[in-house]
Amino acid sequence: MSADKKAKEAAMPFLNRELSWIHFNFRVLEQAEDTALPPLERLKFAAITASNADEFFMVRVGGLKMLQRQGEEQPDPAGLTPSEQLAAIAERMHELVERQYACLLKAIEPPLRKGGIRRLGMDELSAAQLSHAEAMFADVIFPVVTPMAVAPDAEFPLLAGLGLHLYVRLEGAPESGGERHAVVAVPKGLARFLTLPDEAGFSYVLLEEIMRAHVGRLFPGVKVLECAAFRLTRNADMGVREDQAGDLLDLMREVLVERKESDCVRLEIEKGASPAARRFLQAALKVAAADVYAVPGPLDLAAFFRLANLAGYDALKIEPWPPQPVPEAPAAESMFAVLQRGDLLLLHPYESYDPVLRLLQEAADDPNVLAIKQVLYRVSENSPVVAALMRAAERGKHVTALVELKARFDEARNIDWADALARAGAQVIYGVKGYKTHAKVCVIVRREPEGVARYVHFGTGNYNEKTARLYSDVSYLTRAEDYGADASVFFNVLTGYSQPTKYRKIEAAPLGIRPRLLELIEAEAERRRQGEDAAIDAKINSLADPELAEALCRASQAGVKIRLNVRGICCLRPGVKGVSENVRVVSVVDRYLEHARIFRFHNGGDPQLFMSSADWMPRNLDRRIELMVPVEDRAAAEKLGQILATCLADTRQAWRLLPNGAYERRQPDARHPPLRSQEEFQRRAAERAEAALRQAPAFEPQRPAEQKKQG
């Protein structure tokens, strides 16, 4: 990059969104490179960086390439045009690939081998293992695969994005000379990691390696000159023109088909492939040279995530942190009784997600429950949440489920769940026209002696019990009337023709969250101008909204102390004298994905605390249905504030964003003692659970006669 270009970027108050995201993925990669972690944990992080990169190319790079083809040269807030962004992305992503595979091959696989987990090449197999691999090819692989001949002047076959393929270069026919080409898809329905007989440990060979070793059997009588693995990534940045959409369900099905046929935005090919193989595939797939990634190891590193959970190798894994029971919600007590006592704020996965599931499951079976209304954005494959909703509908309760069909890469699953819910008798809403519904809310309407009560759950994470063990999120459960009234109004706006109205407590995007945030930021700035103490603390996943970033800069210039914990993208350049010198930004990367959004405004000494489903990005604030929920219950607000303060105080797994856009690892010092926030949360949850267990009355086993009588 030229000196003039660097000077231009340094003068901009904003950082580029895409490059900021790449910085985040490098921070994740540093976890994989951390030799203090056991090898299977490091393998997990390496796989996550690859999975992140897959989605980044499909969505962000795909979108930029569409702009480039359209001749769009409008710079982003950081001053970079689409073409400049793509050039910078390619430079950084090639560097990422080199580091990923250096980490895998030199730093992760050697200790895995020592610990008994061995990836073997075909030339390393024993006679017994070789015989096993040959039998696998003959009995399982050969009947499944179908080679596809590719003529240079013919249309290239339609290959699945992110699927593994083998390019085969063959000797030409005697009468015509030259060379012939073919492609063989590596079957997705077969296991990628094929277990080999081994008396000590877990040895495996990759499916594509067995196919490569026997590829000649697919072309009898023809000499194979070369066989190289490759993988292509297709543009997935395509949406529905809802102004032209008739049936959203049908349109989303069309989008899924379009993705299979979209342009190739990245070609990965094994580093040992010949220049001829690269030229052929690059031309056939119409890929620029900068978008060809020579991979010095097995392709599709994301697939190695499944090895991280391999049973029986605990010594190669991190110590488990089981979710802790919640003392305020004993398993033997009804969740309705729990919430009648008071509000409940939970921090997952340190505190169990079970109270949320129990509330839904009890609601499905409770004859006093009249209705359940819930937004479903991403749910698990065998979702107990959806099962409870279906059971409730089948039992005659009024169930309304807003299933967001536009949840990227979960569209097919959500379509299936929407169909199942509708068949069970639920009222299913397929999202809101023109917007993506990203709010996490459930309201349960229950008949009680004093009248009808509404129980509400607000969350920062999806209704997915599996990711609730991997993502750090906040749940807020309440029976308070104002929240119940707001939740009912919110659903009426989503599902009917109700006009957006003023809520009692909550705010909703696309109309209410940004104005409310700007108002809160400006209020802090004005207090500081008046000589009062003022401060803003926030924990978010991304900060890319120019209007909010500019408001924070103005508050900084007024003297407001601003501390931001931004996990991933941060486009606000902190610490710039006269612009953002009072802004500090840290990013925590640890065993769990930080996902909770928490905001705190000093408010003259009477702090206002909020949780939200929304990040501070234009898409969340302008093009999504999101919620921002004030937490006013004293105990819940105090706990939420402690969570935020602990994240901001992390000196073990936190990175500080510098004014030049780079990140440096934060170190403890005299003012900032050693603190690993996620470890602290686990410790607190475990201590609370143990204290509650000690205080619980002793369990008295039932006598056989009592057991028989109750049975």
What does the alpha-carbon distance between residue 528 and residue 546 come to, in Å, rounded to a whole number? 22
17-32 helix and 82-102 helix, angle to the nearest 10 degrees = 0
Q: Is 591 helix (H, G, I), strand (E, B) or coil?
A: coil
Residues 6+ apart with CB under 8 A from 72: 82
Amino acid at residue number 339: L
3-state secondary structure of 534: coil
Tokens of 700: 């008295």
Q: Distance between CA atoms of 594 and 655, rounded to whole angstroms? A: 13
Q: Which amino acid is at 142?
A: F
List, in sequence order, every residue forming a beta bridge with 344; answer none if it has no partner.
Answer: 477
> Residue 427's beta-bridge partner residues?
400
Reading the block at residue 500, the tokens are 């957006």
Closest of 385, 384, 355 to residue 372, by C-alpha: 385
| Token couple for 323 | 């979710």
Say if residues 410 and 495 touch (Cβ distance below 8 Å).
Answer: no
- CB atoms under 10 Å from CB of 122, counted, come to 15
Region label for 562, one of left (φ > 0), alpha (ψ between -120 and 50) or beta (otherwise): beta
| Backbone torsions φ then ψ of 225, nearest 5 degrees | -90, -30
> What tokens appear for 685 in the block?
């949850």
**Residue in 480, 514, 489 with CA at minimum distance from that of residue 628:** 514
What's the one-letter identity of residue 687? E
Q: Could you tell me the CA-to-CA distances from 159 to 164, 167, 348 in Å, in that order?
A: 9, 12, 40
Q: Is 438 a catalytic residue?
A: yes
Out of 23, 165, 438, 595, pick the active-site residue.
438
Q: What is the DSSP string of 463-502?
A: S-TTGGGTEEEEEEEE--HHHHHHHHHHHHHHHSSPPP--
Q: 574: how many CB neighbours lie within 10 A of its CB? A: 26
Catalytic residue positions, numbered: 438
